[in-house]
Amino acid sequence: MWKFFHQWASPPHFYRLAKVLIPWLAVPGLLLIAYGTYAGLFLASPDYQQGDAFRIIYVHVPSAYLSMMAYVFMAVGGGIGLIWRLKLAHAVGAAAAPLGAAFTFLALLTGSIWGRPMWGTWWEWGDPRLTSELILLFLYFGYMALRSSIDDTAKADKASAVLALVGVINVVIVHFSVVWWSSLHQGQTLFKKGGPGMDADMLYPLLAMILGFTFVFGALLARRLRTEVLYRERRTRWVRELVLTPGGGR
């Protein structure tokens, strides 16, 4: 098992495997998103309070979910990299950070646009979800800034892994403290504790979107990881052979 895992995680093998993997993640992901978009926009019945504005949930919630999942990827990758010295795990952190930041930004944008018709303002500090998402965006900025200011890749990997691990504890503390804080100020949330209480015609498109976003995230991450692996292994023999092969291994 351990041997199999090491072989799988070996850079040349991963580089080839990821290329095969990308379409298998991207195509189902895009199909799920296409279904979720159609069903969410046209089939689901409007919310009894928010009317058609609630349909923003179909892009807001999946991106908010991915923004946190990408952070977990960074922290788990960093942890594995520190403990078992697996280089590929550190590369996951490096590849996941910009994607996580992009989806955090998207969650903030869609949340803000959703808030405009619902609250009459583009930004509502009292909403715990938006506020903790904003702090999450700053955490991503810090992680990327630390990474880019250390030239030595191995050192940057380890330092940013420590930061990601400290940050993941912080994300939990941020969540609880912001919820406490907004309860003091009678915060307004965009949606009530919905979840399984939603009607099926509202819920299924949401689940399809979340799953589809996850697949697409996987494809994007695999693509960035290939670049990361190629760059880190640029002085090795397998990359040299790859590049010198006619047709190449792009």
**Least Å from the CB of residue 3 to another protein:** 29
Q: What residues numbered 163-192 form the site for another protein, per CB under 8 A?
A: 163, 165-167, 169-170, 173-174, 177-178, 180-181, 184
Residue 47, SS3 per DSSP: strand
31 lines the binding site for another protein (CB under 8 A): no
103 lines the binding site for another protein (CB under 8 A): yes
Beta strand residue intervals within the chain, DSSP E: none
Among residues 115, 160, 107, 113, which one has the least CA distance to residue 134? 107
Q: What DSSP assignment string belongs to 49-90?
A: TTBGGGGGHHHHHHHHHHHHHHHHHHHHHHHHHHHH--HHHH
Q: What residues numbered 129-148 form the site for another protein, per CB under 8 A?
A: 135, 138-139, 141-142, 145-146
Of 4-12, 54-62, 86-94, 188-196, the segment contacting another protein by CB under 8 A is: 54-62
Q: What DSSP assignment string belongs to 226-238?
A: HHHHHHHTTTSHH
In total, the chain counts a number of residues equal to 250
Single-letter residue type at 80: I
- What is the spatial distance between Cα 119 and Cα 26, in angstroms, rounded to a whole number? 36
**Residues 6 or more apart in contact with residue 66 via CB below 8 angstroms:** 99, 100, 103, 213, 214, 217
Quick one: 31 or 109, whose CB is closer to another protein? Answer: 109
- What is the spatial distance between Cα 250 and Cα 244, in angstroms, rounded to a whole number? 11
**Least Å from the CB of residue 7 to another protein:** 24
5 lines the binding site for another protein (CB under 8 A): no
69 lines the binding site for another protein (CB under 8 A): no
Choosing from 9, 17, 21, 53, the residue that interacts with another protein (CB under 8 A) is: 53
Residues that bind another protein in the complex, under the rule CB under 8 A = 37, 41-42, 46, 51-53, 55-56, 58-60, 63, 82, 98-99, 102-103, 105-106, 109-110, 113-114, 116-117, 135, 138-139, 141-142, 145-146, 149-150, 155, 158-159, 162-163, 165-167, 169-170, 173-174, 177-178, 180-181, 184, 216, 219-220, 223-224, 226-227, 230-231, 234, 239-240, 243-244, 248, 250
